[in-house]
Amino acid sequence: MTNILLAQEELLDRSKPPVPGPPKDVQFPDYFDTTLPGGINVLVIENNKIPAVSVRLVFKNAGSYYDNGKYGLASLTAELLTKGTKNRSATQIAEEIDFIGGNLNSGSDWDGSYVSLSLLKKHLNIGIDVLADVVLNPVFSEDEISRVKEQRLSSILQGKDDAGNLTDKMFNKVLFGNHPYAFPAEGTEESINSMTRGDYEDFYKSHYLPQSLILAFVGNITKEEAIMIVNDRFSNWSGTPQENSDVKVYLIDDRKPNSVDIVNKPGAVQSNLRVGHIGISRNNPDFIAVTVMNTILGGYFGSRINYNLREKHGYTYGARSGFNTKIYPGDFSVDADVRNEVTDTSVSLIIEELNRIIKEEVTDEEFQTVKNYLTGVFPLQLETANAVASRVINLKLYNLPRDYYNSYISSINGLTKQDILNAAKKYIHPDKLFIVISGDAKAIEEKMKKFGPVKVYDPDGKEIGGN
């Protein structure tokens, strides 16, 4: 037996690392899921490894999608929740949470508004008292409204000097037309100035409802404790949900793809590019295939687009592509900052890569590299309680299968190169591009006419030239 083992040892080449086995699926934490009589959907993930609890509340129909022409309303309403209640001032809320070493914040995105709390388990009762007060009893005081509005207006003003911000706003405007996604979630100067306390109160009453609430507990807490907390703090809360119309994504009627829109920044030495079209929704059944395809195209540092523009030609410090997914289809775009003199060439190279991804299979090497990359980083994205809570809520918010994350790695590894090519052909459209640039119109306008009609705007979005 000893001789056999020695012979086997001699066959091993210890100068080479062992070949790793195929990545295995991550066992996503099992969770308790119930809907209480009042309509609140409660999720609980028990994790007793650390004596801490994270609580995350998401109101499904309270995002910027529902601003209804008062741009920034959802965002400001969410921000104001922690700025004073019937029982506590903004300062008292901050001091109570700081005293127990917790973290309380609120905000919104397009699909919903949220309030999050994280703290040690021994301080949970104190933290939950503050959390429930913030959610149930906001007062929207005039002083806090004035202060928050002033901060928001200052941020909007500063954004007019940021090339990326200007490009994003114009891109959304020309791409989405009259759809809610066309308008800035943070609001405009006009919309922010026109809002009154009544607007925040009305939005809160109409959209912050138990029937719209997903409430997730993650950490050192049992389902029995969580249900007791919800029944104790929220059982008397009631409200009438509104009917929400489904506004479909459509392109602006008097615009056509393959157009060029320039936000003029006289004297700028760089052009901020955004080239793209309508994308997909988060619950699209091809989402994983699209993710792998886009990662190869422009989704990480070793991507084709970044290699072409940065490594091969030296036109930019970084170029990337991505699908901005929401409940309704968002956008797909390629983004980069390039020198003025290579603006048109950079757009041509981007279009070349978009055509390439839809016409030929990816190589074995890049396909396997991206598979390894995505399956390698996925477990790292589940390391914190808040990250786990957010992903569990996403399952509910986007109507994804309960075992979605359990099979995520195997779903990636099960894809073929033909799957990637099919996804590219289906969701990448080089013939339907909108090209938006923030830069010096005088330096780039003439060369950009090769891609289509050009329009020029000032930083406020008002048309000032073009052909």
What pLDDT is attached to residue 167?
Answer: 97
**What's the pLDDT score for residue 27?**
81
pLDDT of residue 356: 98
Distance of CA 153 to the CA centre of its chain: 23
- What is the predicted pLDDT for the residue at 251? 47
Q: What domains lie within the chain, and their CATH numbers? A: 32-234 (3.30.830.10), 259-466 (3.30.830.10)
Q: Which of 361, 324, 19 is nearest to 175 (CA)?
A: 324
Using CA atoms, how far apart are residues 214 and 219, in angstroms rounded to an integer?
A: 17
What's the CA gap between 91 and 409, in Å, rounded? 45
Decide: helix, strand or coil at residue 203: helix
Q: Give how far Cα 324 sits from Cα of 280, 309, 329, Å.
A: 8, 22, 8
Whole-number pLDDT of residue 366 = 96
Q: For residue 274, count CB atoms less than 10 angstroms from its CB and return exposed for 0-12, middle for 13-18, buried for 19 or more.
A: buried
Q: How far apart (Å, rounded) are the C-alpha atoms in residues 450 and 431? A: 14
Spatial separation of the C-alpha atoms in residues 207 and 66, rounded to whole Å: 9
Q: Are strands 259-264 and 434-439 parallel, antiparallel or unpaired?
A: parallel
Per-residue confidence (pLDDT) for residue 3, from 0 to 100: 58
Edge to edge, the sheet with strand 52-59 lists 32-35, 41-46, 213-219, 52-59, 113-120, 103-108
SS3 for 167-188 is HHHHHHHHHHCCCHHHCCCCCC
Cβ-proximal residues to 255 (8 Å cutoff; 6+ apart), any chain: 174, 177
Q: Give burial (CB, 10 Å; 0-12/13-18/19+) of 383.
A: exposed
Give the pLDDT score at 253. Answer: 46
- pLDDT of 457 reads 97
Interatomic CA distance for residues 101 and 127, integer angstroms: 10
Report pLDDT for 19.
59
pLDDT of residue 11: 53
327 Ramachandran zone, left/alpha/beta (phi>0; psi -120 to 50):
alpha
- Per-residue pLDDT tens listing for the chain (467 residues): 555 555 555 555 666 666 556 667 778 888 999 999 999 999 999 988 889 999 999 999 999 999 999 999 999 999 999 999 999 999 999 999 999 999 999 999 999 999 999 999 999 999 999 999 999 999 999 999 999 999 999 999 999 999 999 999 999 999 998 899 999 999 999 999 999 999 999 999 999 999 999 999 999 999 999 999 999 999 889 776 655 444 555 444 455 677 899 999 999 999 999 999 999 999 999 999 999 999 999 999 999 999 999 999 999 999 999 999 999 999 999 999 999 999 999 999 999 999 999 999 999 999 999 999 999 999 888 878 888 888 999 999 999 999 999 999 999 999 999 999 999 999 999 999 999 999 999 999 999 999 999 999 999 999 997 77
Q: Which amino acid is at 446?
A: E
Sign of the alpha-carbon dihedral angle for 299, 301, 302, 303: positive
| CA dihedral of residues 103, 106, 111, 112 (deg, nearest 10) | 110
> Which residues are CB-neighbours of 196 under 8 A, at least 6 positions away?
none
Kindly write down the DSSP assignment for every residue of 308-326, as one continuous string. Answer: IIIIIT---S-EEEEEE--
Tell me how far apart the alpha carbons of residues 56 and 59 are, in angstroms, rounded to a whole number: 10
- CB-facing half-sphere around the CA of 276: CA atoms within 13 A: 28
